[in-house]
Amino acid sequence: MDVLPDSAPLATKLRNTLVQYHSIADSEWRVAKKTKDATVWRKPSEEFCGYLYKAQGVVEDVTNRIVDHIRPGPYRLDWDSLMTTMDIMETFEENCCVMRYTTAGQLWNIIAPREFVDFSYTTSYEDGLLTCGISLDYGEVRPNFVRGFNHPCGWFCVPLKDYPSHSLLTGYIQTELRGMLPQSAVDTAMSSTLANFYSDLKKALKT
């Protein structure tokens, strides 16, 4: 039987890693995609042989409501077009849980549906919030899915100083999709997925 890690040290380490990513100099990033809703950059990941992606955009809503739509909970499945199922497997104290979720196929199913089991943690950051996660090798892999792996990922959401009803949302994502995939297909999918995340989120917040 897989054993779950102790949540407190894992949460602390995860938060520290995300804060470190948040301080990476602008000069280290290369623009991967730009839309009216968000800009996506990337740099080689230090965790695996793919990329660490950074996405950023202004979202017209208060921080708490935005994070409630992103973190594990009832909202996420309603609006995130990539996520097909989500189950919270374990809940810890202090906004920590373990969730299992599945994603739809992408790029005309060149990228088949994926399954992830992630430890998720939400905490305060400056005047806003940070919700972050990392995959665990936990639980049986369901048939018809490839088990992907999220290296440390997270979303910083802070109110704009002059417009507190607007928030700056900055995400760091490094997903190892696994399986036999051309890296170029993965890179195309990741940039588009992150840009679409912002437009889908904005639509959801307006309803």
Give which of 201, 207, 160 is closest to 66, Cα–Cα.
201
Q: What tokens were used for 3? A: 């054993």
Q: What is the distance of C-alpha 81 from the center of its chain? A: 14
Question: Exposed (0-12), middle (13-18) or buried (19+): which is 197, by Cβ within 10 Å?
Answer: buried
Residue with tokens 């979720």: 101
Q: For strands 146-147 and 114-125, give the pairing.
A: parallel
Gap between the Cα atoms of 87 and 119, Å rounded: 12
The answer to whether residues 172 and 194 touch, using CB atoms and an 8 Å cutoff, is no
Residue 105 has what pLDDT? 85
Residue 134 has what pLDDT? 97
Q: Where are the domains of the chain?
A: 7-205
Low-confidence ranges of the chain (pLDDT < 50): 1
What residues contact 180, with CB distance under 8 A and at least 6 apart? Answer: none
Dihedral sign, Cα of residue 124, residue 125, residue 131, residue 133 = negative
Residue 1 has what pLDDT? 43
pTM: predicted TM-score of the whole model, two decimal places: 0.94
CATH 3.30.530.20 fits 7-205, yes or no: yes
Give which of 41, 75, 98 is closest to 204, Cα–Cα.
75
> What are the CA-CA distances from residue 129 to residues 33, 79, 144, 148 (Å)?
25, 20, 35, 26
Q: For strands 96-103 and 114-125, give the pairing.
A: antiparallel
